[in-house]
Amino acid sequence: MIRFSMLRLIRTALPILLLAGASMAAAQENNGKGPAYTEPPQDDANYHLMGEFAGRLKQGENKGQTLAIQIRPIKGDQFQAIAFFGGLPGQDGHETQEMRLIGLRSGDNVVLSGGPWGIFVDPKGCNIVASSGKLLGRLKRVNRVSRTLGAQPPKDAVVIFDGQSVDNFVGGEMTENGLLKEGALISPMFQDFDMHVEFRLPYMPLADGQQRGNSGLYLQSRYECQVLDSFGTEKMFNGLGALYRMKAPDLNMAFPPLVWQTYDLSFTAPRWASDGKKIRDAHITSWVNGVKVQDNVALPSKTGAGKAEEPLLLPINIQDHGDPVRFRNIWIVDRGISQAEFPVITSPKERKEAAALEWNETSNEEAAEDDSEQAEKSDVDAKPEATQEEKSSDAGSDQ
């Protein structure tokens, strides 16, 4: 009798459990984001074809010109890419006119179309082929490293996060390997300040737009500096480096996901009269991966979902948008107390050490070293505007 009752219970409950499981699976599918990898996936054949490539065309109408391509996977085995003449965004000679390409993976290669040539991409490079079948050139993979990566806090800077604790946060949480998770308020509050942040975006190949590697730095909880995986796209109004819903970045300086990137922010708070009337807008200058993308921009109001403007300090909010964005090496210079050269440009050795990734340290150190050597020889690295001190001490050189 007991066995019969149990069997009848199982028969009754099983369809309900299956239906519930199907609903949960459907809800995950309807989310539209798909997987979010915080380390390189082992089961994604598209991942190793993503990246940046650059080189000179050796034949054809554009002989001698540098061609650069950014490519990223989208749904299925499809890819989208952006091509530029002159170099990648942030490099000397870069031409901002974009050539949009689409592609499909076949085996270990992607074939891109949409330009005047065929482009055959493999993990190490791209072959540019004319319609006649003639090879016009080969572009090599480029692993760029921000020139502010690994920047150490100047004297009197406030170290917000160094991987040791989350004591300077409300709601802060660390990963097991000492990285800060998205979704935290910085406890100390600041008026006019310079801020350095390093971040790593997840790889989310099935997501797009604002659903792909989204976070943000809400200065005073009011003004959002957008964090987003906009790598390999046209310059997005709300892409990485944007002042959310207010101004696009001057350049799309996004690097591929799962590498360390930098955000350097110089913020001046609004000024108020005694009657509560605003008499001067907030202003911001920002650099993404060492390149200036916002230049002393006035903010006439809050951005997006920011808190209302008023003469009251509020904390900086590291936004939780539901994606596993990771942060490290956060420090702030309170300009009401001290002054320092900003942003802080790091040495090739510092960049090499900071670029290492825990899952493949040797390989990525070599990539960073190679990139640093290229930077010294041919300005391959993303390059910020020189400070006055750099201009006067070493005019035109790349140290």
Report residue 31's pLDDT band, with 50, 70 and 90 as the boundaries: low
Task: Give me the percent of the chain exceeding a pLDDT of 90.
Answer: 75
Domain 158-349: CATH superfamily is: Exo-inulinase; domain 1 (2.60.120.560)
3-state secondary structure of 2: helix
Report residue 360's pLDDT band, with 50, 70 and 90 as the boundaries: low
DSSP 154: P
Whether residue 61 contacts residue 67, with contact meaning beta carbons closer than 8 Å, is answered with: no
Segments making up each domain of the chain, as ranges: 47-142, 158-349
Three-state DSSP string of 3-37: HHHHHHHHHHHHHHHHHHHHHHHHHHHHHCCCCCE
Residue 383: is its pLDDT beyond 90?
no
Please name the residues in contact with 187: beta carbons below 8 A apart, sequence gap of 6 or more: 167, 168, 169, 170, 315
3-state secondary structure of 183: coil
Q: Interior CA angle at 293 toward 291 and 298, to 5°?
A: 140
| CATH architecture label of 47-142 | Beta Barrel (2.40)
Please report the pLDDT score of residue 32 as a whole number: 67
Please report the pLDDT score of residue 75 as a whole number: 87
Q: Mean pLDDT highest for which of 205-219, 306-320, 356-370?
A: 306-320
Work out whether strand 51-56 and strand 66-73 pair parallel, antiparallel, or are unpaired: antiparallel
Instruction: Write the pLDDT tens digit of every residue in 153-211.
Output: 999 999 999 999 999 999 999 999 999 999 999 999 999 999 999 999 999 999 987 88
State how far the Cα of 223 lies from the Cα of 76, in Å rounded to an integer.
36
Q: What's the number of CA atoms in the CB half-sphere (13 Å) around residue 124?
A: 1
The one-letter amino acid code at 285 reads: T
Instruction: Write the pLDDT tens digit of every residue in 42-63.
Output: 999 999 999 999 999 998 888 9
Please report the pLDDT score of residue 174 as a whole number: 97
Owner of token pair 């692993």:
143
> Encoding tokens for residue 255?
């690097």
Q: Is the four-CA dihedral 113, 116, 118, 124 of positive or negative sign?
A: negative
Work out whether strand 291-299 and strand 99-106 pair parallel, antiparallel, or are unpaired: unpaired
Q: Cα dist. 151→28, 197, 264, 331 in Å?
A: 39, 9, 10, 9
Which H or E run includes 272?
strand 271-272
Please report the pLDDT score of residue 215 as a whole number: 96
Residue 82: is its pLDDT beyond 50?
yes
Residue 228: is its pLDDT beyond 50?
yes
> Across residues 108-121, what is the average pLDDT?
95
Question: Quick check: do 47-142 and 158-349 share a fold?
Answer: no
Please report the pLDDT score of residue 155 as a whole number: 95
> Across residues 221-235, what is the average pLDDT?
94
Instruction: Write the pLDDT tens digit of every residue in 268-322.
Output: 999 999 999 999 999 999 999 999 999 999 999 999 999 999 999 999 999 998 9
Work out whether strand 184-186 and strand 215-219 pair parallel, antiparallel, or are unpaired: unpaired
Least confident residue range of 10-24, 226-240, 329-343, 360-374: 10-24
The one-letter amino acid code at 71 reads: I
The one-letter amino acid code at 291 reads: V
Owner of token pair 């998205």:
182
Q: Interior CA angle at 36 toward 30 and 37, to 5°?
A: 155
3-state secondary structure of 111: strand
State how far the Cα of 42 lies from the Cα of 121, in Å rounded to an integer.
20
Q: Cα dist. 161→180, 186, 330 in Å?
A: 8, 10, 5
Please report the pLDDT score of residue 357 as a whole number: 87
**pTM recorded for the entire structure:** 0.84
The one-letter amino acid code at 230 reads: S
Report residue 37's pLDDT band, with 50, 70 and 90 as the boundaries: very high
Beta-carbon neighbour count of residue 278 at 10 Å?
15
Task: Find, among 282, 277, 317, the residue nearest to 297 by Cα.
Answer: 282
Please report the pLDDT score of residue 124 as a whole number: 96
The residue count for the chain: 399
Beta-carbon neighbour count of residue 395 at 10 Å?
8
Whether residue 188 contacts residue 160, with contact meaning beta carbons closer than 8 Å, is answered with: yes
Task: Find, among 165, 156, 226, the residue nearest to 193 by Cα.
Answer: 156
State how far the Cα of 258 lies from the Cα of 236, in Å rounded to an integer.
20
For 380, phi then psi, to 5°, come to -70, -35
Please name the residues in contact with 144: beta carbons below 8 A apart, sequence gap of 6 or more: 52, 88, 255, 289, 371, 380, 381, 382
Beta bridge partners of 330: 161
